[in-house]
A and B are shown apart, each in its own frame.
Chain A
Amino acid sequence: MNSNKLSKALIFAVTFLLISVWAVAQPGNPGQDPDPSPGVPLDLGLSAFIAAGVGYAAKKRMDKKKAGKTPNTLPK
């Protein structure tokens, strides 16, 4: 992925994120069902998923180091 593509993807992701945050900021908290009684959530927070991604990225880097590859610097 070159830097141009990466920038476009980042702009797309941030725009999408802002749109969804705006869309959720409405009466009635649409992220939840109207029935307030307790359910059976299967849910980890976004931060836990991001942490898992960071952990896996670190593992991939270590594996590459072991295999003797040079660091994958960001494209210039």
Chain B
Amino acid sequence: MKSNQLNKISSFLDVRYLITFLIILLVVYFGNLAYITLIDPRGMVYSSFLDQHFNYINWLRNSYLYTSNFLAHLAGMDTHITFPYSLTSATGRHVEMVYECLGINFFSFWTAFVWANNQSIPFKIAWWLSGLLCIWFINCVRVAILLMAVVNHWQYNRYMDHHTLFNLFAYALIAVFILAYTKQHERSHRLAVS
């Protein structure tokens, strides 16, 4: 009975891919969440060692702040980093990089998306790393532009604020990258078969 149902599902879903994808997604997604708990001094399970020496959340946040600061300077803005969270303009207006802004959920998704596929390890590593880099860079640009919008008091759209608009733009770029991966994946699969 069970097997029949699974076979029915497998007639319209690639079950192996889906299960592998879900396992990787859940492990990475909740793994990151668990790690944040470990490096939070307010938590019951706090590791000062991990907090001081392997706080990759802070490394990632700082990389965003430094790069966005650099991009904002390139665009002619006078900005500086106010540690630990903010990118601040000379006028005092600022944007903050809290946990939700780091794009870690996108990193988790991309990791699961790439590693669940049947491909050679070098192919996966190349696409995985370039995808992570792409998401990271899009987020850096997004933060710099958002600060620009805040500082220059750009007019708010009637239906959508800058925040949502830039987020949609970032999602669209990530979707384009997924599409490019899919095309390349299919091409290399066809070559392998022929």
In the complex, the answer to whether B43 meets A73 with C-beta atoms within 8 Å is no
In the complex, the answer to whether B34 meets A20 with C-beta atoms within 8 Å is yes
Contact residues, A18-69 vs B (CB, 8 A): 19-21, 23-24, 26-28, 30-35, 37-44, 46, 49-50, 52-54, 56-64
Report which of B34, B143, B182 forms a contact with A40, defined as CB distance below 8 A: B143
Total interface residues in chain B, CB < 8 Å: 60
Contact residues, B15-42 vs A (CB, 8 A): 15-23, 25-27, 29-31, 33-34, 36-38, 40, 42
Contact residues, B94-118 vs A (CB, 8 A): 95-103, 105-106, 108-109, 112-113, 116
Contact residues, B106-137 vs A (CB, 8 A): 106, 108-109, 112-113, 116
Interface positions of B (Cβ within 8 A of A): 3, 6-7, 10-23, 25-27, 29-31, 33-34, 36-38, 40, 42-45, 85, 95-103, 105-106, 108-109, 112-113, 116, 139, 142-143, 146, 163, 167, 170-171, 182, 186
Interface positions of A (Cβ within 8 A of B): 1, 6, 9-10, 12-13, 16-17, 19-21, 23-24, 26-28, 30-35, 37-44, 46, 49-50, 52-54, 56-64, 71-74, 76
Given contacts A26-B37, A44-B171, list 18 more A-B pairs with CB under 8 A. Answer: A13-B27, A19-B34, A20-B30, A20-B31, A23-B33, A23-B38, A26-B45, A32-B98, A40-B95, A40-B143, A42-B100, A42-B102, A42-B142, A50-B22, A53-B25, A71-B10, A71-B11, A73-B15
